[in-house]
Structures are given as structure tokens and as C-alpha cells.
Amino acid sequence: MKYLALLRGINVGGNNKVAMSELRACFERAGFTGVSTYINSGNIFFESDVIDIVDLVQRCEGAIEGTFGFAVGVTVISQDEYKDAMQHAPSWWADGTLETRNDALFVIPPTTTQEVLDELAKKTSRVDRLDSHGQVVFWTLPMADYSKSVVPKIVGTPIYKRITIRSSTTAKKLLGLF
């Protein structure tokens, strides 16, 4: 089965530096096949016979920590689940207007999408538009209202550490690479 692993917090601000060639080798040593990466932010395509997502997450996180010496949050999503989530993105998400910011928040197991939505609901302002499908939360807001948004309010909170964020541009590109 084909999967996409999305790493949280690598190669950001000079912290947790990981070369993509080393990351690919790490995943291959962990027994995964068909390993490839997209850009330097930790998007790894791979194949595995394992179907338990929590098990895959633990294997990926363990391999990364064993190789690079630091812990990284990882979410894993199957090709079918990724395509399904993207097909169910709300019509207002990433509608092509430059005046909006559009992100996909990927939930890191064992945290659930509902737990993330519950935390976001506590801080959401009227400018945020949120929806979800599977383990993906779709988020849009007017760029002019960024300071009023929920996302800056969750930075540093426990729930923020249980998601990894990709722009709509990256999320769509990843869909095309599957």
C-alpha cells in the first residue's frame, strides 16, 4: 500500500536539520520501499504491507529518532485516504483567491481529528473557516485578518504539537505526486 508520511518541525528555523537523502535512506533501512521525498519540509512517500496507521507512525518516528537523534512528530496517511480527503475539501478552501490563506492541518495519531477541532473551536474567531475530512482539517482565512485567526492562538499549545501544517499549494502538489 502507498503512504505519505508528513513530518512536523524539521528544517524550520535552522532546527532539526534533516537532509532528504538521509531521510530516504532512513526509511529504506526501516524496511519501507518506493521511498521518495518532496521538498525539504518532510514529505515522504513510501510503500509498506503494514496497514495499521498507529504502527506505521511509531515505526517512522522510531526510525527518525534512531537515525537523527531527536524526536519528530509524524503523521501517516494512505494514498486512498489522502485522495478521499482532498476530494472532500470544501469549495471555499483554496479557491484560488490571493487574499486568503489556505492550509491543511494533518492530525498526528493517536490524536483524533475531533480532538483537534474541539481545541480549535475554543479559540476560533469569526474570520476562520474550518472543515475536516478524515485526518485532515481544512482551514481558510482572509490574509488581512491573520492576527485574528485561531492558528496564531494555538502555537505552543499541546494540540499544536499534534498537527503538521501544509499550505494548500503543497497539499495539492502532494496529491498530484501520489
Q: Are residues 170 and 90 in the same domain?
A: yes
Q: Are residues 102 and 22 in the same domain?
A: no
- pLDDT (tens, 9 = 90+) of the chain, 178 residues, equals 999 999 998 887 777 899 999 999 999 999 999 999 999 889 999 999 999 999 999 999 999 999 999 999 999 999 999 999 999 999 999 877 778 899 999 999 889 999 999 988 887 778 889 999 999 999 998 889 888 888 778 888 899 999 999 999 999 999 999 9
Domains in the chain: how many in total?
2
Q: Whole domain around residue 54: which residue ranges?
A: 2-81
In this prediction the pTM is 0.92
Which CATH number do you get for residue 130? Answer: 3.30.70.1260
Determine which helix (DSSP H) or strand (DSSP E) holds 105, and give its type and residue range: strand 100-107
Which CATH number do you get for residue 19? Answer: 3.30.70.1280
Are residues 128 and 99 in contact, defined by beta-carbon separation less than 8 angstroms? no
Dist CA 146 CA 13 (whole Å) = 21
Q: Are residues 91 and 169 in the same domain?
A: yes
- SS3 call for 56: helix
Among candidate residues 151, 131, 143, 169, the one with its CA nearest the CA of residue 38? 169
- Please identify, among 44, 64, 81, the residue that sits at the C-terminal boundary of a domain: 81
Q: Are residues 130 and 101 in the same domain?
A: yes
